[in-house]
Amino acid sequence: MSSDLDTADGAVVMLVDNGSRRAAATLGLRRLATALAAASGHTVHAVSLQHADRIPAGRLDGRPASLFTGFVDAALRRGDRDFVVVPLFFGASRALTAFIPEQVAALTAAHGPFRLDVAPPLIPLPDGEPRIGDILADHVRAAAAPLKSNAVRVVVVDHGSPLPEVTAVRRYASAALRQRLAAGTPVDEAVMERREGPEYDFNGDLLGDVLECIAADGPLTVVLAMLFLQPGRHAGPGGDISEICERAMAAHPGLRVAISPLAAEHPLLVEILRDRLGQVLASR
């Protein structure tokens, strides 16, 4: 059936993130979708799974954010039956393995069968993605340069997950980064959220605790390698990562902490997304 939505090879292509209540995240998603469209030659729609519908349209250039369920529902009503999701996720989180399948099941019950293929995440394990290591290394060097320090300690920080397979993605990224830095550069890991209990120790330590331990070793320069894609509650201006770092430096005058740019700010990210879209289209 025909549709007034632009399609790629018969499929409606969506660049999908988890969603945020911060306008900067949705605007950033739209910029990435535009860049991916230019790189791939396919129309790409910026779509969030949750939260972004709470952002006033006035803060989004007058255009409300699109949420996955509503976007696909509207497309199905127009006659589209073929969809491709390009995940803006580092690993296979529950958003991809549970939320999207649940929504697809509900939409299928309402509209009948349709096709929806999900491309691999940015770091598909076990193969991994070496270019994520390149992105982190470039960003760490950029953040470290103004510090003019010969002794930099790096901390890879991510959101944190109760899933071992998602934590494994951070482990992979940290190892890839370590290989690209000067020999002997310490690379630690930290999370912004973790559940209580020893059964979640695999997830790692909270960022505030990691900085306290580092500060106890004496005056040090730390660069946070941000395993975050877009600004949100934790990352970006006004996020709590900045607040945690400011508190740590105020409590320990010898400690200096620099925060790297976010992964979405690196041109290699669009290249990876283009390849993920190509993978899923080639397999159809």
pLDDT under 50: residue ranges of the chain: 1-7
Domain boundaries, the chain: 12-118, 130-265
Q: What is the pLDDT of residue 3?
A: 35
DSSP-assigned letter for residue 52: G
Any idea which residue has 């025909």 for tokens? 2
**pLDDT for the residue numbered 10:** 83
pLDDT of residue 9: 60
Quick one: pLDDT at residue 201?
87
Same fold, 12-118 and 130-265: yes
Nearest to 168 by CA among 185, 184, 189: 189
Query: Quick one: residue 248, left, alpha or beta (phi over 0 = left, psi -120 to 50 = alpha)?
Result: alpha
Give me the architecture of the 130-265 domain, per CATH: 3-Layer(aba) Sandwich (3.40)
Residue 163: what pLDDT? 87
Domain 12-118: give its CATH architecture: 3-Layer(aba) Sandwich (3.40)
- In tens, the pLDDT along 45-55 reads 999 999 999 99
Q: CA-CA distance, 15 to 85, in Å (whole number)?
A: 6
pLDDT score at 8:
52
